[in-house]
Chains A and B, each alone.
Chain A
């Protein structure tokens, strides 16, 4: 049975539709991210799941029981969920131990049991030694760990995270990504994670919901999302990509500067405009004409940047107008203006809407 089900959920502010027709099912123990640019409705969706606002249409169910609908909302405190906030919301008037133990206290556990559980969870987040500290005496990363411990110790049915890493510096953010995933693997709590950072979502999630302007663009596992984006928005938002516009001419599809056999291209027989996404990593560069089964296109290096981990080349097919972005390993050095061959696997070209 599904743990959490959102059915056609919508949220309207006056004439503005912040979230529209949002449907999603989470299986128990699943980690799902809501990913999208700011203002795409992801936080609104999370707050509806938490019960801080009612949906204007649709329903939310947990364990088969309805918890939200436009006419009735189970208040947040009755949902057995917990949440980690963007500001952490660590209460500055309580010590680390009191913060973490608060939810257990509300659940009327005995003194000894609270102590035991608090100590155990502080061990897990490596904060045991700081139990008696006040939040003002903690660093940002430590506060983040307290927020995690406080949310997990109550063993919630569902854990909600609202951009929890956005206030940390880059190094700490990367460390905490893995920490969040590690805690998830340890406790198997069904989790909804809101972020605008694609690498955060990719590291942590089983599935990612890409949202744009209040609507779901695509729901898939991270690697599927990257390799098989369904829309132009997803292809552009997740990683970098080349958009290739093609037109059907007989048995071929004509692109800017080269053409490919229609039979080898996904969806080339469909109707409508033919727009393909081709990742920079899926293109090979060679000085000699390659003789594999792939498409070979003669081209010229138009520009390049070196980023340490890879080269980012702009390569213009001869007779084409727009250069393509191509990523190669750091040892593949080509001078600007030199002639090269592009090697393209037609099956890596994904037709997008």
Chain B
């Protein structure tokens, strides 16, 4: 009984083939990454120095972009907004994170779940809900206030700097929450016990041991919140413009109005890009130092701190934050979605399904915009997963020299705000020869680039967790590298890849900052549709559409939690 074995190939021939194909793949991937990442970036820079009509080199765009006081004001507003939103978000997130991670506060699971709901609420949906809540006079909070006090006018006005900062903070605080809980969960009770036994009380232990250990993570979360706030387009456009002030992103949008002044926009986008790159570098340095927490991550069990009666106070605070971010906004969104007119209140006679029917079946583009969103997000997520898996495989298995460059290019878009990315794509691919402006392809490409980092981080983590011996065992038994990929690598990575796909797909269906600059008449996506409806003041239709989008996300979330565990969305996006 002999086993038929493949004949020995002539060594020379094999060597030549493998050399060529590896390099071909490397060249193909680097070409794709150059197209997606490097070229838009280079075009952004070049365009900012190009005269509009002649194409000559010029500094004029910079002179225009920074030549007016109100343009400079918008820059300053963004910085102030980022600071205010980050500070507010810290106020919401840090106590909650501590309570959930380290104390016996009741409803810790509930709190975590509500933070997740906050996290998957698009910021612009939150902004609309808060317009319903705190719009001057007509806002529900103001009407309630007037009803109770009998006053002529309510005190709340969402159309203000404070209002905008609050709305942004409410929907970006999950970032800080995620970072902080992750860090606090790594501080073992033994470290605190060690401080206690040396004579430190609870308060002293907290501020000399626990907080310093979690501090880099907290600061990192604050930085991400700051960057989120200054890069955001939807909420500022809905709130700042009526409030008659501008921030960088809304100003950029105006440069893109008729006529499109992409050269000036490119020049004006530079500070946003610079600040982002700088702060991400700082954040990376800080969280790298966090290593000393991670090293002792196994250190013993973590006992919940007994809060006594204060646990209910803490729970109250958690529910207050949840009320602001989830309960109140969703209550009034649902009301508006089912209302004939949202201002007419909760009476039975005001309830109808008309809005849903209109949005789904009558409106010319609303239903199509949802389909577009899902289609583009699906194609982009698939492209990202395949591309980043290829890169992660090549990099972790060291198949080519300088594989690190590929990995770097996949991570690089992380420092490019969506708005800036869109301007780069416009500059690079809107003009001939490609003339992609208004096509589905440019949106798909932009989404693909935007979500490359999430894909790469997940793919390379999955690859690193896979022992190379698993593949070597295939090869030594006579299977080719492809057999190994098909029979072993792919089945083993199935779950992580599905997770990565969802982590890209879900935010991609909500993406607004890049889409608003690149969509065309036939390629409108749901987020742009919602934005348009808010400009027209059609809050009932808008609420219906926003709810449809949220409800469609739920099954995906459920699949993700089944495949990857309860916290997959919160854990994987941030790290």
Contact = CB atoms under 8 A, between A and B. Distances in A.
A67 interface: yes
A139 B262 CA distance: 64
A104 B479 CA distance: 10
A276 to B, nearest CB: 43
Contacts of B5: 80, 107, 157
Given A77-B475, A83-B476, A87-B467, A93 B11 contact: no
Contacts of B18: 75
A294 B414 CA distance: 80
A151 B477 CA distance: 8
B552 interface: no
A50 B475 CA distance: 10
Interface of B: 1-9, 11-12, 14-15, 18, 467, 469-470, 472-480, 483, 487-488, 491-492
A327 B469 CA distance: 43
B14 A72 contact: yes
A37 interface: no
The 5 A-B residue pairs with the shortest CB-CB distance in the complex, in nearest-first order: A72-B11, A103-B477, A89-B469, A89-B473, A85-B469
Contacts of A234: none
A93 B2 contact: no
A206 B514 CA distance: 69
A78 interface: yes
A74 B472 contact: no
Given A102-B477, A106-B477, A86 B469 contact: yes
Interface in A39-76: 50, 52, 65-69, 71-76
Given A73-B15, A77-B6, A79-B8, 4 more contacts: A72-B11, A73-B11, A85-B472, A154-B477
B17 to A, nearest CB: 10
A283 interface: no
A119 interface: no
B11 A74 contact: yes
Given A108-B4, A150-B477, A69 B11 contact: yes
A73 B15 CA distance: 7
A75 B475 contact: yes
A329 interface: no
A191 interface: no
B491 A93 contact: yes
A27 interface: no
B242 to A, nearest CB: 56
A155 interface: yes
Interface residues of A, number: 41
B15 A83 contact: no
Contact of B470 (A69, A77, A79, A91): A91
Interface of A: 50, 52, 65-69, 71-83, 85-87, 89, 91-93, 102-104, 106-109, 117, 150-151, 154-155, 157, 160
A81 B9 contact: no
Tell me whether chain B's interface is mostly helix, strand or loop, or mixed.
helix
A74 B9 contact: yes
B3 A155 contact: yes
Given A73-B15, A78-B14, A107-B3, A65 B8 contact: yes
A77 B479 contact: yes
Contacts of B474: 77, 102
B173 to A, nearest CB: 39
8 contacts: A77-B478, A78-B6, A78-B9, A78-B14, A89-B469, A91-B488, A93-B488, A106-B478
B478 A107 contact: yes
Nearest to A47: B472
Given A67-B8, A74-B9, A109 B476 contact: no
B476 A81 contact: yes
A352 to B, nearest CB: 37
Contacts of B4: 107-109
Contacts of A86: 469
A76 B472 contact: yes
A67 B8 CA distance: 8
B478 A85 contact: no
Contacts of B480: 75, 77
B470 A75 contact: no
Given A66-B11, A93-B492, A77 B3 contact: no
A103 B478 contact: yes
A92 B488 CA distance: 9
A87 B476 CA distance: 15
A83 B472 contact: yes
A43 B469 CA distance: 13
A80 B14 contact: no
A14 to B, nearest CB: 13
A114 to B, nearest CB: 10
A76 B469 CA distance: 13
A52 B289 CA distance: 37
B477 to A, nearest CB: 4
Contact of B483 (A50, A106, A155): A106
A319 to B, nearest CB: 54
A143 B133 CA distance: 62
B476 to A, nearest CB: 4
B15 A71 contact: yes
A77 B5 CA distance: 10
Contacts of A77: 6, 474-480
